[in-house]
Amino acid sequence: MPFSEEHRKKISEDHKGLVLGMYGKRHSEESKQKMSQSLKKCWQNPEFRKKLSLAKLGKKGNMSNRWKDGKYYHSGGYILVYKPVHPLHNNDGYVFEQRLVMEKKLGRYLRPEEVVHHINGKKDDNHSENLMLFANNTKHLEYHRTKEN
């Protein structure tokens, strides 16, 4: 049922100067300024910032309620292992398991450009016999091209 033109005008006049804000509430510019100032005060308070950083730290690693022995499946099918002390860990502290297995086999850290290949094509089969190391991605791609022909 469409609104009449009069009803639309009344609504637009009632809401003039108000901006749609969080959760569908409408806030005036004045109230938005007040909220902004109070948030700035919070962030300037060192106690608040320390509590916030401690809360974030408490949810990482084995303190997290989603902890599963430090392993999880990557969206690409690979397994990641929690190793925050590893020199090539990602932002969350995880390293691909196949890289860790290859490093253990070689007795050294892999260089960032080195690529670990799964011989049987199963990305979650990280037995050392199933892994092959390439110096870089170019060599890895060359291997795939020669294998396909």
Alpha carbons 89 and 80: distance in angstroms, whole number? 10
3-state secondary structure of 81: strand
pLDDT at 119: 94
Which residue, chain included where needed, has tokens 């916030």? Answer: 52
Rounded average pLDDT per 10-residue block, the chain, 149 residues: 69 58 67 82 76 62 64 88 92 92 95 95 93 95 86
Alpha carbons 127 and 22: distance in angstroms, whole number? 51
Alpha carbons 122 and 78: distance in angstroms, whole number? 9
Which residue, chain included where needed, has tokens 């009069």? Answer: 6
Is-contact 19 26, C-beta < 8 A?
Answer: yes
pLDDT at 1: 53
